[in-house]
Chain A
């Protein structure tokens, strides 16, 4: 009994001693590992945390139907740390085989930058190359010198269609041009970072909530552009520019009821041996960097400008559509103004109604009525349709066009402007003003994003709904009896106007005698307009054709036909009746 009483304390003491010894040795080992780890474990006992940067994706750009126009993805870049290389020859040979790059080139690069710790071998690897590099890193002693880095890549699935319009991002993934630049604040994401605790195999064992900044991807943007309409407009414009060997061309497609821009294209055509063709140095660097000439470059509209003054003069009651004006005959032409200016017409029809002045595009008739208006009234007409000021559509580099200052306005200007001379407009301004005829006489705000029923608004009332409908009807006759005959559609009733203006020289002081800007603007269907299309052909080869109705008109007609069919707008009833 006594023995057993004596043994128990001893066993207990022994147990406590063993436990204390074990704990002590554990503490000693921990301290030793922390303070002076053996060489073998030195790497494993290094920093156990690492900060990881998370790439934030830039927002996507969609067209009005939800088709992807621009999207970012994560790509992989290959770099080499030259300091860690053990055998340059074998590394170059292996990388060369994987990447299909001559190994000698890689070797030369690595030797040339032997002290650098970050040498980019290839900016963007494909999936096969990434897998091959990962496999190589698993089985080589040189794994430390090869690194894969995630980078953001911007993709444009529709290639060059709408290229300059959509724009481009730079190496820092920030918008440089086009919509990429306009919507930079919305599209740009915020990168995130987090600190993670790793085990010796670099597996994450804990993510510290301290220092955690979640990434925020950029927001998506939906545009009013429709990529199918954009393709139709671009393709047809490109064909015509090539066909008539023009210096360039521009086209704009707008939905007049909402002011939404459905398509906008700008083509340049370099012709050897030609001077004065539109130039854009930025496009040589990248076509997407080019300026958007629909927004930036004003042009002389010529006769396409006549409907604006025709409608406003009619509204003021200065003339009625059926009033006969003393326009010259072939025998007594050309017309001479009261201040002895000679006004020439393409054809002389003799005394004509005001209606016919627009249908036959008679400069003399426009000059006669312009002299009945005061300077202020004509200036007011320009203002009402939005000429001389930007459309505020939000596209970079937009210009206001050129309108003569009221202080310099004289009789010459008063008779030039109604013919579309001594004035320069941008294609944007032109379609915006023309939308008034396709609506109730109000000029809509042009938009780059699809609108909802609530935000449709007009910026000013240009003419009354009755005058707008009348002008539209007369422009319908332009397509059947006037300068638009070549551009009449077999499917839809169009209303439009052609224009042919002389090309100004580089200084803008003189005009070329035999070089022109041909344009055509039209809307359709005439009874319920769904589209307004403007085409400008810059400097077409005169030997092929230079009249707006011949060169630009068919482009407008084709684009309207294809687009309305795409939009499932029924064919005009009169054409259906004819077909039956």
Chain B
């Protein structure tokens, strides 16, 4: 009877430890997901900023003076 009780307690303890390990694994996964989500958001935002910068640099009003200069240079040559 006592032997059975000891075995039950030991098995139960292992089961609880396993459950704790699973729970910790879940927490770690959630933590990692949140961190990766933040990273994705930050990268998207960086891309967004870059797109805006590229558009600014390629705006006709920016390119026009460069084209005029290039034409003048071409004519001089």
Contact = CB atoms under 8 A, between A and B. Distances in A.
Nearest to B32: A204
B32 to A, nearest CB: 10
Contact of A73 (B13, B45, B56, B60): B45
Interface string B44-55: 010011011001
Interface stretch (A7-15, A176-184, A422-430): A7-15
B73 interface: no
Interface residues of A, number: 29
Given A161-B61, A228-B60, A235-B64, A207 B5 contact: no
Interface string B1-42: 011011001000100000000000011001100110000000
Interface in B51-73: 51-52, 55-56, 58-61, 64
B45 to A, nearest CB: 5
Given A71-B48, A204-B30, A12 B61 contact: no
B5 A16 contact: yes
A68 B64 CA distance: 18
A155 B52 contact: yes
B60 A157 contact: no
Q: Which of A67, A205, A227 has the most CB of B within 10 A?
A: A205
A48 interface: no
* Chain A interface, DSSP helix/strand/loop, else mixed: mixed
Nearest to A10: B2
A273 interface: no
A204 B34 contact: yes
A28 interface: no
Interface in A41-80: 57, 67-68, 71, 73-74
B34 A15 contact: no
Interface of B: 2-3, 5-6, 9, 13, 26-27, 30-31, 34-35, 45, 48-49, 51-52, 55-56, 58-61, 64
23 contacts: A8-B3, A15-B9, A16-B9, A68-B55, A71-B51, A71-B52, A71-B55, A73-B45, A73-B49, A157-B56, A158-B55, A158-B59, A158-B60, A158-B61, A161-B60, A161-B61, A196-B34, A204-B30, A206-B26, A206-B27, A231-B59, A231-B60, A231-B61
